[in-house]
Amino acid sequence: MVLVKVAVSSDLPPGGMKRYSVNGHELVVANVEGTYFAIAGNCTHAGADLSKGTLEGGVVTCPRHGSKFDIRTGKAISGPRIGFLKLKTGDAKTYGVKVEGNDLMVDLPDNPA
């Protein structure tokens, strides 16, 4: 594992969420009431960019089919809804986030995802 700077804290005010591409990893980093969390940037259902969804109370909603993920744990709270179908999807991969001064550091595996 290696700590890599992805942003500065002022980039992400409380309630903020952004996508970052770092060392071959696509991440979404969010500020949930002053604490930072990171999950894989693409939805586990069909790969939509989760940063284009919404963040409410620590829950990221996918912009494509509405899957919901708890950004604190990566857990898929609910799966996609397509027409009348309610499907399941996998949990999102999580990454540790550390604050060093004003820098947001993400703990990445040594090899690209």
List residues binding ligand FES (CB under 6 A): 43, 45-46, 48, 62, 64-67, 80
CB of 35 to ligand FES, least distance (A): 24
- 13 vs 83, which CB is nearer to ligand FES? 83
- 2 vs 82, which CB is nearer to ligand FES? 82
- 12 vs 43, which CB is nearer to ligand FES? 43
Task: Render the chain in DSSP notation, one character per residue.
Answer: -EEEEEEEGGGS-TT-EEEEEETTEEEEEEEETTEEEEEESB-TTT--BGGGSEEETTEEE-TTT--EEETTT--EEE--EETTEE---PPPPEEEEEEETTEEEEEE-SS--
